[in-house]
Copies of this chain bind each other. A is one copy, B any other.
Amino acid sequence: MTDLKEMGKRAVAAKYMLQTLSDDDKNKALTAAADGLLADAEAILGANKEDMQAGQENGMHEGLLDRLRLTMTRIEAMALGLRQVAELPDPVGKILEEWRRPNGLRLRKVSVPLGVAGIIYESRPNVTADAFALCFKAGNAVILKGGSDAIRSNMAIAASLRKSLEQNHMPQDAVQLIASTDRETTAAFMKCREYIDVLIPRGSAGLIRATVENSTIPIIETGTGNCHIFIDETANLTDAVNIVVNAKTQRIGVCNACESLVIHEKIADTFLPALKEGLARVHEVEIRGDERIRRILPDVTPALEEDYGKEYLDYVLSAVIVKNVQEAIAHINRYSTHHSEAIITQEESHARLFTRDIDSACVYVNASTRFTDGFEFGFGAEIGISTQKLHARGPMGLPQLTTYKYIVEGNGQVR
């Protein structure tokens, strides 16, 4: 079993070095790490080939094999990712607030790195490089725990990153990868509060639930999105159909896809047939609805209560009819995972009510929920989408990987 205590100590030693680095130092190291990945491409592709063989022997699904697969193009994309992070503004050392007290004390609230981040993730090996880049740019050391399927690829990528760091006189332990992939190690990792300041699980609902239940480290919960779109009475029909079709079908396996429709009773008769037509042009989508919906679209599957709370990640959509915007808000707040919800309306007062009262990270008016994404928001990067309310909510970019401290300067003040 991996010596997590030893890894924790190394990460803490590294974090004290990293917090002293200038933006220039960090950018040089990231650029060198990008060059390093290309130089080490052969070793990384070799390791990935072994992971792929093991996956095929274990009967891994074609979709998962594709996520696991590395090619020269994908390694180039990883390297480009490192260079792009280098180009983002440094989130550390910003004076967030500054004031003076009547006793003469001068206070400054300054952004600083979180310290040591732990990331638990599943099959995609590119996360190894991406998560390192974001943590490093924000001045954090990172301990990575990838999935067993990708362990050889992850080890090869981490070894390349560490070599580049060392060659640039940077602490290698800015990135460490846990070599063991057994459950005991993962469980023990979640208890390393002494060394780790934040733990971010990225992956399946099961992984996230296990982390929430077992971690003693402060975590940022990411991911699950049962996103709703409410078609208000005054919705522009073309926009409503376009937005739902986009949010449902443009990519079905993502957390910002639409999973549930809420429809004003006065527009259901015209909207539902139009939606059916719109969806049919793109992909077959199963709608699960209540009786009133089935009266309009007879081939709709009857919805069970549990359908309204489901994140399908599939060509399925639950649908319900409501009397007004208040009822829509109550339904959504009850069933949503507080990720992203949208209202399609031309009535400004309804949009105001909806955006004020919906309790979700991102609330849209007349736009697709698919925009909940660090790049679409203009953050230039994304470490995940938070569905909890503490620290960060919604898409997390570099600033969300920092905290702050107060620097208080006086000339002898006492209480």
Stretch at the interface among A81-89, A124-132, A172-180, A386-394: A386-394
Indicate which residue in B212, B333, B368, B394 contacts A414 across the interface (CB closer than 8 Å): B368
Instruction: Flag A400-415 by CB within 8 Å of B: 1 or 0 each.
Output: 0001111111111111
Stretch at the interface among A57-65, A67-75, A371-379: A371-379
Total interface residues in chain A, CB < 8 Å: 69
Alpha-carbon distance A114/B393, docked complex (angstroms): 11
A105-125: which have CB < 8 Å to B? 105, 107, 112, 114-115
Known contacts A359-B115, A394-B405: A378-B101 contact under CB 8 Å = yes
Find out whether the CB atom of A246 lies under 8 angstroms from the CB atom of B414.
yes
Contacts of A239 in B (CB 8 A): 411-412
Contacts of A220 in B (CB 8 A): 390
Alpha-carbon distance A42/B100, docked complex (angstroms): 43
Q: Is A357 an interface residue (CB 8 A)?
A: yes
Find out whether the CB atom of A371 lies under 8 angstroms from the CB atom of B415.
yes
Find out whether the CB atom of A197 lies under 8 angstroms from the CB atom of B390.
yes
Find out whether the CB atom of A415 lies under 8 angstroms from the CB atom of B376.
yes
Find out whether the CB atom of A415 lies under 8 angstroms from the CB atom of B250.
yes
Q: Is A335 an interface residue (CB 8 A)?
A: no
Number of copies of this kind of chain in the complex: 2
Find out whether the CB atom of A363 lies under 8 angstroms from the CB atom of B212.
no
Contacts of A105 in B (CB 8 A): 367, 371
Interface of A, secondary structure class, is: mixed
Alpha-carbon distance A234/B70, docked complex (angstroms): 58
Q: Is A361 an interface residue (CB 8 A)?
A: yes
Alpha-carbon distance A20/B333, docked complex (angstroms): 14
Q: Is A193 an interface residue (CB 8 A)?
A: yes
Alpha-carbon distance A105/B367, docked complex (angstroms): 8
Contacts of A243 in B (CB 8 A): 412, 414
Q: Is A301 an interface residue (CB 8 A)?
A: no
Find out whether the CB atom of A357 lies under 8 angstroms from the CB atom of B19.
yes
Find out whether the CB atom of B216 lies under 8 angstroms from the CB atom of A213.
yes
Query: What are 22 residue pairs bridging A and B, where the CB atoms are less than 8 Å apart in the complex?
Result: A19-B357, A101-B377, A105-B371, A114-B390, A218-B388, A220-B390, A239-B411, A243-B414, A361-B406, A364-B408, A364-B410, A365-B408, A366-B409, A366-B410, A367-B413, A368-B415, A370-B414, A390-B390, A390-B391, A391-B391, A393-B406, A394-B406
**Contacts from A to B (Cβ < 8 Å):** 15-16, 19-20, 99, 101, 105, 107, 112, 114-115, 193, 197-198, 212-213, 216, 218-221, 236, 238-239, 242-243, 245-247, 250, 333, 351, 355-357, 359-368, 370-371, 376-378, 388-391, 393-394, 403-415
